[in-house]
Amino acid sequence: MILIIKQLAMVKYYIKKVGFYSFVISIIFVLILTGCAPNKSIEEQITPQELITWKTLGKGKTSIQHQEFIMEEIDSSDGLFLISPKSYQGDMVLRYKIRALSEASVLIVLFSASDNSETLQLTIPPENSKNEDIWKWRGEMNHYNLTFNNKSHGYTPFFYKNISSLEREFHLRKQDNIMKSNQWVTVEIGKKKGKVWFSLNNDMVFEYMDMSPLLGGHIIFRISGATKEGKNILAKASIKDLTIHH
């Protein structure tokens, strides 16, 4: 009670000294500054136990082994998607470690994935969808696409922005492959103030200034196998230490 009386006395003294209107303006100014203060970024640590609850699409299975999240194709698979339950708007940085567990594990990350440029929502096809319907869905959604460890498909790493099945705003490609199977690598993928990037083991692989960045959306991991010498090699990968800053 005594503290409140002292505080009221200080307020009365300040009003008397600077005037009532100056006091009101000072209060408004403080409130404006408080309201305009930038929001603090959030760091989410996604455990293997959380990852295994993310929705999958395509033929495959997931598991946890030695505190690592494992995703793998099964017979007659045309790739396996793992889709975040949340969407992320604006700036974000994705960091994790990944290991390709077969020689044909193409690693793909789609981020800021949404139905169109005006929403964060992503409509996911039914689980029993045909491969051609899944490819159509993927081609029509807005997203950034990073594909690496794709030597088994006859390609080198690439990065593009997908607007529709007929429009890509940029398409970057490396001349050489940058990964080997069964080795852990540290991945960082970011989107901040228009800049989008991808680094591997702290080495910048792709960096691009997007003058009209996507609003945001979901994060999607995908693996895809290959056919080599007439034999189907299924994709399998392990993920750990996943964090999302947003």
pLDDT in tens, 63-73: 999 999 999 99
> Phi-psi bin for 201: left (phi > 0), alpha (psi -120 to 50), beta?
left
178 band by pLDDT with thresholds 50, 70 and 90: confident
* pTM assigned to the model: 0.83
Does the domain formed by 43-245 have CATH 2.60.120.560? yes
**Closest CA relative to residue 237, chosen from 178, 156, 183:** 183
14 band by pLDDT with thresholds 50, 70 and 90: low
Q: What is the pLDDT of residue 228?
A: 75
Over residues 201-210, mean pLDDT: 97
Mean pLDDT estimate for the chain: 88
Centroid of chain to Cα 128: 25
The tokens 């319907």 sit on which residue?
133
CA atoms within 13 A on the CB side of 78: 8
27 band by pLDDT with thresholds 50, 70 and 90: low
239 band by pLDDT with thresholds 50, 70 and 90: very high
Say if residue 26's pLDDT is above 90: no
Q: Domain limits of the chain?
A: 2-36, 43-245
